[in-house]
Structure 1
Amino acid sequence: MAADDRRTRILDAAEELFAVDGFDATPTARVAEAAAVPKGLVFYYFPRKIDLLLTLLQERLPVPTKEAVSGVVRRGDPAASLMALHRRLGLDSHDSLVLRTIIFRESGTHPQVGAHLRRLRRSLVELTESALEQAVDWTSAKTLRRQAAETFVSVMLDHANARRTDGGGQPDVQGAASVVALALGAPGLA
């Protein structure tokens, strides 16, 4: 069995167990058992239990980079650009639902997780602001663009969180994109 395979199985098991039972309630022995590896191997790859959680977040729910905006901007159409960015980021995809469960649950009790969540949100706002700046053909104030980006990111995160909890009445991301475009003074929208 390859080392990468064992490490991946440990991460897979930890992700599932942390999502169901929580980080603090999941002993490393259960992670090792679920991954079908010796407990010592868990500590070989992840010297502290928190390292296991942080690796999950860094590798499986990374902070997006500027490349995420590449190819999503529709010049002159900020609403379409926001929707393309939303699809590219995939915050409401099934793959990230489990990790979002973990990150929102653990962010209040583990400062490192809260820091990851803040970096993630800050990056999302910066990427959204960049997409808006590139999409808008007309001049808009930097403060307004930042507020528009923060608003749209809040709706995206709320939408993703509603999907995570399978809540009804999910936020209307398309509607939010249209409202943001209107706020920026997009011509032809009313």
Structure 2
Amino acid sequence: MPGTGAPDARTRILDAAEELFAGDGFDATPTSRIAERAGVAKALLFYYFPRKDGLLEALIAERLPEPPLCRVGSVARRGDLKGSLVRLARALDLGGRKSRVLRAVLFRDLGSHPSVLAHRFRLRTALVELTEQVLDAASPFTLDRLRRRQAADTYVSLMLVEADHRRFAGVLPDLAAAASIVSRALAGPAAGLSLA
């Protein structure tokens, strides 16, 4: 209700859909459960979202990360490639609580919904570009473009794997160790570069 601080019906529907999709998956969640969880009539749910896919598309558009994901200057430190990559992963927090939909929907429902696949492609592209910018800002010398792209792609792959693995109770990739390996690969014979 307006003015009471209670979320409006559309927001409650999206909140319920986010929670249920994250827990049970898109395909296993009927719209009736979403309406029930949101405390609305099913007809109101269909007023806002005539198709169930519309709920998923709204969650992707409104609640998943979009560029700019973080500011390069807040994480990059000249001469500290490894630390800059570690700070980037922390700043993005792709596997954090705020990214439940990212972890559950973006990975589990990837193959079955074109809108999820398209968002994941845009997100991955933005992450690689951001990582390249961080590497450029952190490096005391000009990086080879191909090596920089490969390093960024490798690190982004591990960040996404780490985000996905947080859904399970398994062993998480060590992003700091990966940052060290990526940094060493880029540094080559350069002197004075902090790789610790």
* TM-score, normalisation: structure 1: 0.91
Q: 2:121 matched to which residue of 1?
A: 118
Residue 180 of structure 1 aligns with an amino acid whose one-letter code is V
Q: 1:83 matched to which residue of 2?
A: 86
Evaluate the alpha carbon distance shift between residue 103 and residue 184 of structure 1 in structure 2; reply closer, same or farther with a 3 A threshold. same
Matches within 5 A, 1:5-154: 5-65=8-68, 67-154=70-157
Alpha-carbon RMSD: 1.9
Q: Which has the higher helix share?
A: 1
Q: Confirm whether residue 178 of structure 1 aligns to residue 180 of structure 2.
A: yes
Residue 110 of structure 2 aligns with an amino acid whose one-letter code is S
Residue 30 of structure 1 aligns with an amino acid whose one-letter code is R
Decide whether the 8 Å contact of 2:86 with 2:176 is kept in 1.
yes
Decide whether the 8 Å contact of 1:68 with 1:88 is kept in 2.
no
Residue 184 of structure 1 aligns with an amino acid whose one-letter code is L
For 2:69 and 2:157, the matched residues in 1 are separated by 19
* Bigger mean CA offset, 35-44 vs 123-132: 35-44
For 2:141 and 2:123, the matched residues in 1 are separated by 29
Q: Confirm whether residue 161 of structure 1 aligns to residue 187 of structure 2.
A: no
Displacement of 1:67: 4.3
Q: Aligned pairs, how many?
A: 189
For residues 44-98 of structure 1, what are the alpha-carbon distances to aligned partners after superposition, in whole Å with 9 as ceiling and x for unaligned?
A: 2223211111111222212231644241111111111111111111112122134
Residue 155 of structure 1 aligns with an amino acid whose one-letter code is L
Residue 16 of structure 1 aligns with an amino acid whose one-letter code is E
> Which 5+ residue runs of structure 2 have no aligned equivalent?
none
Decide whether the 8 Å contact of 1:107 with 1:113 is kept in 2.
yes
For 2:29 and 2:98, the matched residues in 1 are separated by 21
Evaluate the alpha carbon distance shift between residue 75 and residue 138 of structure 1 in structure 2; reply closer, same or farther with a 3 A threshold. same
* Bigger mean CA offset, 18-27 vs 33-42: 18-27
* TM-score, normalisation: structure 2: 0.88
For residues 4-56 of structure 1, what are the alpha-carbon distances to aligned partners after superposition, in whole Å with 9 as ceiling and x for unaligned?
A: 53222111111122223321232222211110011122122223211111111
Residue 105 of structure 2 aligns with an amino acid whose one-letter code is I
> Which 5+ residue runs of structure 1 have no aligned equivalent?
none
For 1:37 and 1:85, the matched residues in 2 are separated by 40
